[in-house]
Amino acid sequence: MAEIRSVRAHRAFSKGFYRSADFDYEVRCALGAASHGAADAGEVLATIDDVADGDHERWFEAWLATGSRVRALADAESAAGRTVSAASSYLRAATYLGVAVNAAGALESDAQLLPTFRLQRSCWDGFVDTAAVEVERVDIPYEDTTLPGYLFRSGGDAAVRPTLVMVNGSDGATSGLWSNGAAGALARGYTVLMFDGPGQQSMLFEHGVGFRPDWEAVLTPVVDFVLDQPGVDRRRLAAYGISQGGFWLARALAFEHRFTAAVLDPGVMDVSASWTDNIPSPLLKLFRAGKKESFDHDMGIGMRFSPATARTWRFRARPYGKDSYFDTLTEVHRYTLSDAEAAQSTTPLLLADPEREQFWPGQSERLAHACGGPSELVPFTAAEGADFHCQPMARQLIDARMFAWLDAALSR
């Protein structure tokens, strides 16, 4: 009789890479970026190989080292005139340094934040300058300043094409939009506009401009700008909001009606849920009772006993521009979309709804029911390798579903 052996399942995908949810998610995002050439799996895994769970200093140092090393490779290839290899290396370096920027934002000192961001952005600009794509750096008029952006065109001709306006999340690098929709859009013949809005990347780190909840004040001038560009078909104008961009875009669509279709990944109606779900109920009672002094005092004690939580709070709170715990959480609660406001949106929507959504579970479904126009809720599952917030390891799959839906919506 053949020997019967018990076989232990191999659970690398579901168990993850770290117990730390933040570390694990960053690794998943970096690996997922490989689907569009924005990372190499070996470089990612080698970077984390000697980083212990919860070692934030080493985490930052490891990603900075890998990004800097790959940046040096890119510079050498560019100097030798090998632009294909240079572009690939610049793009990968931008991904790794994007992780380092987020890590620097959670360190006790801010000293590393701005120089790391500038190094990361220079890698992205290196990719823009060497890649075989048609791209123009643009400045989008916004109030008394401008928003920096990049306008990518496919085809290299003057044809009128569908256009995708990309709305980033709260902490994603602008370069991250390349593997999160831009590359897929260009391959399918779209024009693509990506930009830094208030509180995002250069607007926050270099100009000190924080978030604002009324994103229609941002998106309307962006639409004015893009519709004024040659080759943009105003009848085929689409938008894609990723992560917290799923709130900003949903909010703006209640007031800005010139988009033909939009994709929310995921749909978000209440940003504060991702904050309050992680605050103990006794503290929430103090906050909801308006007891600022007691809330700040008790939160301060809690943060001293949980350095990891303190780092996350520090990183997440920065763009809201408030000094105290109470004032920050009060500000975050302004980032809500009511059912009545959602009903004002008539733009057809595709809403991603992944299993194990960490930040805003159930909100895509809620928005699908509340919005005033047609909507389609699309599930993504662990069985497909497509679970977690924004499906970090299934970007080819979401590209396929997103652009199949957009192509049909824009053709109507």
Average pLDDT over every residue of 147-165:
90
Average predicted confidence (pLDDT) for the chain = 95
Q: How would residue 91 be classed by pLDDT, with cut points 50, 70 and 90?
A: very high
Q: What value, to the nearest 5°, has the Cα angle with vertex 191 and ends 190 and 195?
A: 130
HEC string for 99-127: HHHHHHHCCCCCCCHHHHHHHHHHHHHHH
Same domain, 349 and 311: no
In a domain, 12, yes or no: no
Same domain, 189 and 296: no
In single-letter form, the type of residue at position 387 comes to: D
The residue assigned the tokens 């780190």 is 205
pLDDT of 201 reads: 96
- The tens digit of pLDDT for each residue in 371-399 reads 999 999 999 999 999 999 999 999 999 99
Same domain, 323 and 347: no
Confidence check: pLDDT of 150 > 70: yes
In a domain, 309, yes or no: yes
In a domain, 13, yes or no: no
Same domain, 312 and 212: no
Average pLDDT over every residue of 120-140:
97
In a domain, 219, yes or no: yes
- The tens digit of pLDDT for each residue in 172-199 reads 999 999 999 999 999 999 999 999 999 9
Instruction: Tell me the CATH number at 34.
Output: 1.20.1440
Give the integer Cα–Cα distance in Å for 150 and 202: 13
Work out how many domains the chain is built from and give that number.
Answer: 3
Using the 3D structure, point to which of 288, 315, 332 is the last residue of a domain.
332
Using the 3D structure, point to which of 71, 91, 124 is the last residue of a domain.
124
- The tens digit of pLDDT for each residue in 6-28 reads 567 888 888 899 999 999 999 99
pLDDT of 7 reads: 63
In a domain, 9, yes or no: no
Same domain, 251 and 396: yes
pLDDT of 11 reads: 84
Confidence check: pLDDT of 118 > 80: yes
Domain span at residue 34? Answer: 18-124
In a domain, 7, yes or no: no
pLDDT of 2 reads: 54
Confidence check: pLDDT of 5 > 70: no
262 near 253, Cβ under 8 Å?
yes
In a domain, 119, yes or no: yes
Average pLDDT over every residue of 112-129:
97
